[in-house]
Amino acid sequence: MSKEILMVAEAVSNEKGVDQEIIFEAIEQALAMATKKRYEEGANIRVVIDRESGDYESFRWWDVVSDDEMAELGTQFTTEEAIEKDPTLKVGDTFEETVENIAFGRIAAQTAKQVIVQRVKDAERELIVNRYRDRVGELLGGTVKKVTRDHIVVDFGENAEGMLPREELVGREIFRINDRTRVILQGIREETRGPQLLVSRATPDMLVQLFMIEVPEIAEGIIEIKGAARDPGQRAKIAVKSKDARIDPVGACVGMRGARVQAVSNDLDDERVDIVLWDDNPAQLVINAMAPAEVESIVVDEDTHAMDVAVNGDNLAQAIGKGGQNVRLASELTGWAINVMTIEDAQEKQDAESSNFVESLMEALDVDEDVAVVLVEEGFTSIEEVAYVPLEEMSAIEGFDEDIAEELRARAKDALLTRALASEEQLTNVEPAEDLLTMDGMDPALAYKLTAKGIITMEDLAEQAVDDLMDIDDMDEEKAAALIMTARAPWFADESGE
Give me the number of domains the chain comprises: 4
**What distance in Å separates the CA atoms of residue 33 and residue 48, rounded to the nearest whole number?**
13
What CATH number is associated with residue 439? 1.10.150.20
- Summarised one tens digit per residue, pLDDT across range 277-316 is 999 999 999 999 998 888 888 888 888 889 989 888 888 8
Any domain includes 426: no
Q: In this predicted structure, what is the pLDDT of residue 424? A: 59
Residue 14's CB is within 10 A of a number of other CB atoms, namely 10
**What distance in Å separates the CA atoms of residue 189 and residue 389, rounded to the nearest whole number?**
57
Q: In this predicted structure, what is the pLDDT of residue 235? A: 92
**What distance in Å separates the CA atoms of residue 163 and residue 189, rounded to the nearest whole number?**
9
Residue 495 has pLDDT above 60, yes or no: no
**What are the angstrom distances between the C-alpha of 495 and each of 347, 424, 439, 489?**
53, 37, 20, 10
- Summarised one tens digit per residue, pLDDT across range 119-143 is 777 777 888 888 888 888 889 999 9
**How open is the CA angle 178-184-188, to the nearest 5 degrees?**
95
Any domain includes 252: no
Residue 254 has pLDDT above 90, yes or no: yes
Spell out the SS3 assignment of the chain.
CHHHHHHHHHHHHHHHCCCHHHHHHHHHHHHHHHHHCCCCCCCEEEEEECCCCCCEEEEEEEEEECCCCCCCCCCEEEHHHHHHHCCCCCCCCEEEEEECCCCHHHHCCCHHHHHHHHHHHHHHHHHHHHHHHHHCCCEEEEEEEEECCCEEEEEEECCEEEEEEHHHCCCCCCCCCCCEEEEEEEEECCCCCCCCEEEECCCHHHHHHHHHHHCHHHHCCCEEEEEEEEECCCEEEEEEEECCCCCCHHHHHHCHHHHHHHHHHHHCCCCEEEEEECCCCHHHHHHHHCCCCCCCEEEEECCCCEEEEEECHHHHHHHHCHHHHHHHHHHHHHCCEEEEEEHHHHHHHHHHHHHHHHHHHHHHHCCCHHHHHHHHHCCCCCHHHHHHCCHHHHHCCCCCCHHHHHHHHHHHHHHHHHHHHHHHHHHHCCCCCHHHHHCCCCCHHHHHHHHHCCCCCHHHHHCCCHHHHCCCCCCCHHHHHHHHHHHHHHHHHHHHHC
Averaged confidence pLDDT in the chain = 84
Domain carrying residue 70: 2-118
Spell out the SS3 assignment of 127-168.
HHHHHHHHHCCCEEEEEEEEECCCEEEEEEECCEEEEEEHHH
More confident residue, 396 or 111: 396
**What distance in Å separates the CA atoms of residue 233 and residue 171, rounded to the nearest whole number?**
4
The answer, yes or no, to whether the previous bond of 165 is cis (omega within 30 of 0) is no
Confidence of residue 237 (pLDDT cuts 50, 70, 90): very high
Residue 30 has pLDDT above 90, yes or no: no
Average pLDDT over residues 430-450: 86
Which of 475, 478, 467, 468 is closest to 443 using CA atoms? 475
Question: What φ, ψ does residue 266 adopt, rounded to 5°?
Answer: -60, -35
Q: How many CA atoms lie within 13 A of 431 on its CB side?
A: 4
What CATH number is associated with residue 141? 2.40.50.140
Strand-pair category, 76-78 with 56-65: parallel
Shared domain for 376 and 449, answered yes or no, is no
Which amino acid, residue 387? A
Q: Which of 338, 365, 381 is the last residue of a domain?
A: 381
Average pLDDT over residues 348-363: 75
Shared domain for 91 and 7, answered yes or no, is yes
Shared domain for 28 and 114, answered yes or no, is yes
Contact 439, 417 (CB under 8 A): no
Any domain includes 491: yes
Residue 25's CB is within 10 A of a number of other CB atoms, namely 16
Which amino acid, residue 11? A
- Summarised one tens digit per residue, pLDDT across range 152-202 is 999 998 888 889 999 999 888 889 999 999 999 998 887 767 677 899 999
Any domain includes 60: yes
Shared domain for 112 and 12, answered yes or no, is yes
What CATH number is associated with residue 40? 3.30.1480.10
Confidence of residue 210 (pLDDT cuts 50, 70, 90): very high
Shared domain for 113 and 143, answered yes or no, is no
Q: Which of 74, 92, 118 is the last residue of a domain?
A: 118
Confidence of residue 110 (pLDDT cuts 50, 70, 90): low
What CATH number is associated with residue 301? 3.30.300.20
Residue 63 has pLDDT above 70, yes or no: yes
**What distance in Å separates the CA atoms of residue 480 and residue 470, rounded to the nearest whole number?**
7
Q: Which of 157, 185, 202 is the last residue of a domain?
A: 202
Residue 488 has pLDDT above 50, yes or no: yes
Contact 156, 140 (CB under 8 A): yes
